[in-house]
A and B are shown apart, each in its own frame.
Chain A
Amino acid sequence: MDRFRSHTGTALPLRRGNVDTDQIIPAEYLKRITRSGFADGLFAAWKFDQDFVLNSPEYGGASVLVAGPDFGVGSSREHAVWALQDYGFKAVLSPCFGDIFSANAGKSGLLAAVVDLPAIERLWSITEADPATEVTVDLVDLVVRAGSWSATMHVDDYTRWRMLEGLDDIEITLGQEADITRFESSRPSFKPATQLPPQHSPQHRGRAITSSETRSPKAVHS
């Protein structure tokens, strides 16, 4: 992950609350197995509306998304983060994020910063009055600035540290492998494993089911 300290760019005012991840990227786009190339799916359904703010040429090139409360609620799809990044967004500001979206953003290097509603509304006014306004999101000082105006942002300490340093989460955890191994040695024996016990061996569970056959319970469970 690249280090993120501060970013300056124009902003897109998205005057909507409760933007769920199905809106950020509809399920149809989730069939792809790549980690990039999702820009075309961003707000795919809303983009049909010519008046949708993402279609306004004056906001072309915006890299800071300023959204209403409860942004990114719903489905866990990290594709929502990837779509925003692929489209060119570096940061999303909202008074409140869906839990999983927020975690996904932090892992992928998209800044999801909490900014209170009055400040969000102010940013909407500022950027609607002048779409060319440069907005700075400063992760070092936890401040968002637009001209002479500024407001505080909130990002949890751990995510902030990782983003500032550009650290890979998995690498950090693998540094504690001895702790993990020690923990594993003390797990109770009654905890389940996904390998089947002998009476449910693979040849007994691998029976194929077809769409049209008539089946008897005996045939299935034998």
Chain B
Amino acid sequence: MHSSTPRILAEKVWDEHVVSRAEGKPDLLYIDLHLVHEVTSPQAFEGLRLSGRTVRRPDLTLATEDHNVPTTDVDQPIADPVSLAQINALRANCAEFGVRLHPLGDVEQGIVHVVGPQLGLTQPGMTIVCGDSHTSTHGAFGALAFGIGTSEVEHVLATQTLPQVKPKNVAVTITGQLPTGVTAKDLVLTLIAQETTSGGQGYIVEYRGQAIESLSMEARMTICNMSIEWGAKAGLIAPDDTTFRYLRGRPHAPAGVDWDRAVEYWRTLVTDDEATFDKEVVIDATTVTPLVTWGTNPGQGMALGGNVPSPDDFRTEAEQAAAKRALHYMGLTAGTPMREITVDAVFVGSCTNGRIEDLRAAADILRGRKIADSVRMLVVPGSVRVRLQAEDEGLDIVFKDAGAEWRGAGCSMCLGMNPDQLAPGERCASTSNRNFEGRQGEGGRTHLVSPLVAAATAVTGHLTAPSDLPAWV
């Protein structure tokens, strides 16, 4: 379709999946992979039952338990009866409709957006959906991946398609290279602070440029993961040799002749030189520094070296009111150096920063150090596989020796719907993706940070960059 017109990456993937197209109607898109978890699926399965429908393609559907599960005593029955009922509903639904499920206790269990890539199910050029807004994570492979609601989950279960209106396209070009000690997380938080939480509204993003090309697959996932935090529908990165190296040999990656055919196709998944975007954003990677959020949305970020802003620093009345509210909720005073903000908890994990490289980065800071007595630190691998890999590398020992809690796989303290929560008023440096009011537990206060800043902060008890720490003795 349209092979002669220059197209951008997202358009190529989109066009490949159009089942039907009609004037004045959304395109009907075929969905290559549907990921399912316990929270947003029970009503969808119930809808199927009520209408006498089946799951059209259980072989393109995969379920895991992640949001509401505990990350300790995972071999024990789930204590919370409401959580247990939801988990049991998923298990019964998957059994009834023939969907493969990785339950708590299974070696492939974990956060849905960590599990897909590590199994090799996430591949370039695919359409991937999940009833979870951080589905954009999979865009790191050059897949068109986006979050959907429960009605849409039911739609995909029943038809393996979704009617979708084509969004506009924005290019985010990151020139140069990130300085040492500055991570993909700092980069994406910088982007969101610059573009605000609605800057990407109505767009699919393509992240490109030298800094992006230099990133590992896991770092690319961190970037794409937070596309939704600046309002974008999806975020993609063109697949390259880094992508193919990551995929090769994974359980569901193509093999033999199929591998060669796949790679040949995947290499076409780049934006054509003459193709144009509706909007362009350019960031110089060399200017990015460790970034920390001070407010209650991911766009309210500040360089770690800066001070808590004052409402007067903002232009519009609405922004000023939002800043005032955020400072009040966060219990912060304008002008306070960010580095002087003390925390009660540190959380390393989530679909943003719960992969092996994130754990290695945090462990490198903590090796031979102790966390501050005043801090509780949770380290939560994104999947059981990540946990096992970390244990093979001895990272669990590093975390435990430093005084951190080494836990089982799951969404954990990212979202306040399992036992891992902040108490009211508690403050946390968190590698997760949202600092909304109450996100980590009612009344909890969240500062979004990179794994490096999280670990350094755990050592000192206040927001800290690794470069602030004294050298090991």
Q: Which of A111-170 contact B (CB under 8 A)?
A: 156-158, 169-170
* Closest A residue by C-beta to B316: A17
Q: Determine whether the beta carbon of A30 is less than 8 Å from that of B105.
A: no
Q: Which of A167-213 contact B (CB under 8 A)?
A: 169-170, 172-174, 176-177, 179-180, 183-184, 187-197, 200, 205-211
Q: Determine whether the beta carbon of A73 is less than 8 Å from that of B318.
A: no
Q: Determine whether the beta carbon of B107 is less than 8 Å from that of A220.
A: yes
Take A73-B198, A217-B392 as given contacts and tell me if A103 and B148 are in contact as well, using a CB distance cutoff of 8 Å. Answer: yes
Q: Determine whether the beta carbon of A176 is less than 8 Å from that of B28.
A: yes
Q: Determine if A104 is an interface residue (Cβ-Cβ < 8 Å).
A: yes
Q: Among the listed A28, A96, A103, A173, which residue makes an inter-chain contact with B201, where contact means beta carbons less than 8 Å apart?
A: A96
Q: Determine if B151 is an interface residue (Cβ-Cβ < 8 Å).
A: yes
Complexed CA–CA distance, A75 and B439 (Å): 11
Complexed CA–CA distance, A189 and B76 (Å): 41
Q: Determine if B59 is an interface residue (Cβ-Cβ < 8 Å).
A: yes
CB distance from B75 to the nearest CB of A (A): 4
Q: Which of B10-34 contact A (CB under 8 A)?
A: 19-20, 24-26, 28, 30, 32-33
Interface string of B116-147 (1 = CB under 8 A from A): 00001101001000011100000000000001
Contacts of A211 in B (CB 8 A): 72-76, 408
* Closest B residue by C-beta to A107: B151
Among B79-87, B173-181, B268-276, B307-315, which stretch is in contact with chain A? Answer: B79-87
Complexed CA–CA distance, A34 and B436 (Å): 25
Q: Determine whether the beta carbon of B151 is less than 8 Å from that of A194.
A: no
Contacts of B56 in A (CB 8 A): 180
Q: Determine whether the beta carbon of A180 is less than 8 Å from that of B75.
A: no
Q: Among the listed A33, A98, A172, which residue makes an inter-chain contact with B86, where contact means beta carbons less than 8 Å apart?
A: A33
Q: Among the listed B28, B58, B198, B439, which residue makes an inter-chain contact with A70, where contact means beta carbons less than 8 Å apart?
A: B198
CB distance from A73 to the nearest CB of B (A): 6
Q: Which of A5-25 contact B (CB under 8 A)?
A: 16-18, 20, 22-23
Q: Which of B390-413 contact A (CB under 8 A)?
A: 391-392, 408
CB distance from A97 to the nearest CB of B (A): 9
Q: Determine whether the beta carbon of A170 is less than 8 Å from that of B53.
A: yes
Q: Determine whether the beta carbon of B197 is less than 8 Å from that of A70.
A: yes
CB distance from B342 to the nearest CB of A (A): 24
Complexed CA–CA distance, A209 and B436 (Å): 33
Q: Determine whether the beta carbon of A196 is less than 8 Å from that of B251.
A: yes
Take A104-B151, A190-B262, A205-B106 as given contacts and tell me if A170 and B51 are in contact as well, using a CB distance cutoff of 8 Å. Answer: yes
Q: Determine if B149 is an interface residue (Cβ-Cβ < 8 Å).
A: yes
Contacts of B43 in A (CB 8 A): 33-35, 78
Interface string of B44-69 (1 = CB under 8 A from A): 00110001010010111110000110
CB distance from A114 to the nearest CB of B (A): 11
* Closest B residue by C-beta to A68: B318
Contacts of A58 in B (CB 8 A): none
Complexed CA–CA distance, A33 and B151 (Å): 14
Q: Among the listed A17, A77, A180, A220, which residue makes an inter-chain contact with B159, where contact means beta carbons less than 8 Å apart?
A: A180
Q: Among the listed B62, B131, B151, which residue makes an inter-chain contact with A108, where contact means beta carbons less than 8 Å apart?
A: B151
Complexed CA–CA distance, A146 and B334 (Å): 40
Contacts of B253 in A (CB 8 A): 192
Contacts of B151 in A (CB 8 A): 78, 104, 107-108, 169
Q: Determine whether the beta carbon of B106 is less than 8 Å from that of A180.
A: no
* Closest A residue by C-beta to B439: A22
CB distance from B47 to the nearest CB of A (A): 8
Q: Determine if B252 is an interface residue (Cβ-Cβ < 8 Å).
A: yes
Q: Determine whether the beta carbon of B322 is less than 8 Å from that of A104.
A: no
Q: Knowing that A81-B149, A207-B107 touch, tell me 11 more A-B residue pairs with CB under 8 angstroms.
A: A18-B297, A33-B85, A73-B297, A76-B133, A77-B149, A107-B152, A176-B20, A180-B28, A184-B30, A189-B261, A211-B408
A-B contact pairs, 14 of them (CB 8 A): A16-B325, A22-B436, A35-B43, A35-B47, A45-B443, A70-B198, A170-B51, A170-B158, A187-B30, A190-B265, A192-B123, A205-B107, A209-B109, A217-B392
